[in-house]
Amino acid sequence: MTDHISRFVSDDGFALSYVRCEATAELVGHQQHKLSGATLEFATKGMIASLLMGTRLKGRGMLSLNVQCDLGRIRDFRCDAMGMGYVRALIRTVDDGDALIGNGNLTVMKQIEGSDQPFQSTVPINHDRFIHACNAYLRSSEQVQALMCYDITINENTVERANGFYLERLPAADKHPDCHLSNVYDELYESKQDYVRIDDKGNDEEVIGELFGKGELKKLRQYDVQFHCPCNKQRYADTLRAFGKDQLKELVNEKGVVPTICDFCLSEYEIPLDDLI
Ligand SMILES: [Zn+2]
């Protein structure tokens, strides 16, 4: 099945986004960034979380999740979810024992087109509890009644399954306090559970019906998830033009070009020094 996001609503005030992204997670995590096993699982959780949270942006823009830690194998991870299901990630790993991450911070940044100031908020993260930290962020920083759960299977270099959902209780749900979805939500919320077994064999309506009751949520729309990095040579040239002449001369190589590499998609661009000064 093609990687995609589906969005659902219920008559009693719930909104749900469901994502499947195994091919994209493997492309970005393994083929681009050479991750495997636990680090690939961590990056997959990050992609699921940013794609799901990106569906709730109020306007066109980008949602970024950034994890920074001082210990462990993953020191810096960032995932950007843009517009309609586009995603990219960067990850810096070090060879540092068995621990995946130490104590660190998860920063959520939201940039909406047309607004000057990006929104930014930070919560603590430890171990590999990525989705758990995102749920803590939703509760404390956004103060929305929302939670995310995931179900991922990684086999070394392969992402066999990558599913997740975001469930939000909207203000309209107050009129239906005892509805089925309210009870399901309360159960997940109170247990602070972030893993849920998702049987993804059927179509999305069947998958969601299995989890939340048949016909409870109605599908609104579906769109593809795919890797996309908006970097290009011109952007790098524009950035480098802000550097001083002396700095540029330090960066230039014997061919007379400044070599650059995109940390997200690892594309390499060579900018001639003559174009910069
Ligand atoms: Zn790029």
For 244-259, the pLDDT digits (tens) are 889 999 999 999 999 9
pLDDT for 152 equals: 97
Please check whether residues 87 and 136 belong to one and the same domain: yes
| Residue the block writes with tokens 């174009």 | 275
At residue 276, the 3 state secondary structure works out as: coil
Same domain, 62 and 198: yes
182 & 261 share domain: no
**Whole-angstrom distance, CA of residue 4 vs CA of residue 86:** 10
Span from the CA of 169 to the centroid of ligand 1 (angstroms): 36
pLDDT exceeds cutoff 90 at 166 = yes
Last residue of a domain, one of 205, 227, 249: 227
Q: Which residues contact 158 (CB under 8 A, 6 or more apart)?
A: 26, 30
Which runs of consecutive H residues, i.e. helices, occur in the chain? Answer: 22-26, 37-54, 130-137, 180-191, 204-212, 233-241, 245-251
Tell me: do 191 and 263 sit in the same domain. Answer: no
Distance (angstroms) between ligand 1 centre and the Cα of 86 equals 13
The predicted pLDDT at position 1 comes to: 81
Answer yes or no: do 219 and 265 share one domain: no
Same domain, 105 and 190: yes
pLDDT at 162 over 80: yes
Kindly state whether residues 52 and 132 are assigned to the same domain: yes
Q: What is the pLDDT of residue 192?
A: 86
- State how far the alpha carbon of 32 is from the alpha carbons of 47, 154, 263, in Å: 14, 16, 10
> Is pLDDT above 90 for 158?
yes
90 Cα to the center of ligand 1, angstroms? 10
- Are the C-beta atoms of 211 and 196 separated by less than 8 Å? yes
Together in a domain, 168 and 138: yes
CA–centroid distance, residue 231 to ligand 1 (Å): 4
Taking residues 121-149, what's their average pLDDT?
A: 92
Tell me: do 185 and 81 sit in the same domain: yes
Q: Say which CATH number the domain at 196 has.
A: 3.55.30.10
37 and 102 belong to one structural domain: yes
Same structural domain, 263 and 162 = no
Sheet holding 14-20, edge to edge: 145-155, 158-169, 14-20, 4-9, 218-224
Q: Is the pLDDT of residue 102 over 90?
A: no
**Does the structure show a pLDDT above 80 at 127?**
no
- The pLDDT tens digits for 178-235 are 899 999 999 999 998 899 999 989 999 999 999 999 999 999 999 999 999 999 999 9
pLDDT reported for residue 115: 87
The pLDDT value recorded for residue 277 is: 81
Residue 260, domain extent:
233-275
Phi-psi label, residue 34: left if phi above 0, alpha if psi -120 to 50, beta otherwise: left
Domain count across the chain: 2
Averaged pLDDT, 159-173: 96
Averaged over 51-76, what is the pLDDT? Answer: 93
CA of 264 relative to ligand 1 center, distance in Å: 5
pLDDT interval class at 99 (50, 70, 90): confident
Q: Verify that 60 and 190 share a domain, yes or no.
A: yes
Which pLDDT value is given to residue 189?
A: 93
Q: How far is the CA of 45 from the centre of ligand 1 (A)?
A: 21
pLDDT of 18 reads 98
- What is residue 46's predicted lDDT score, i.e. its pLDDT? 97
Q: Which residues surround ligand 1, an ion (CB under 5 A)?
A: 229, 231, 262, 264-265, 267
Ligand 1 center to residue 229 CA distance, Å? 5
- The answer for 246, left when phi > 0, alpha when psi is -120 to 50, beta otherwise, is alpha
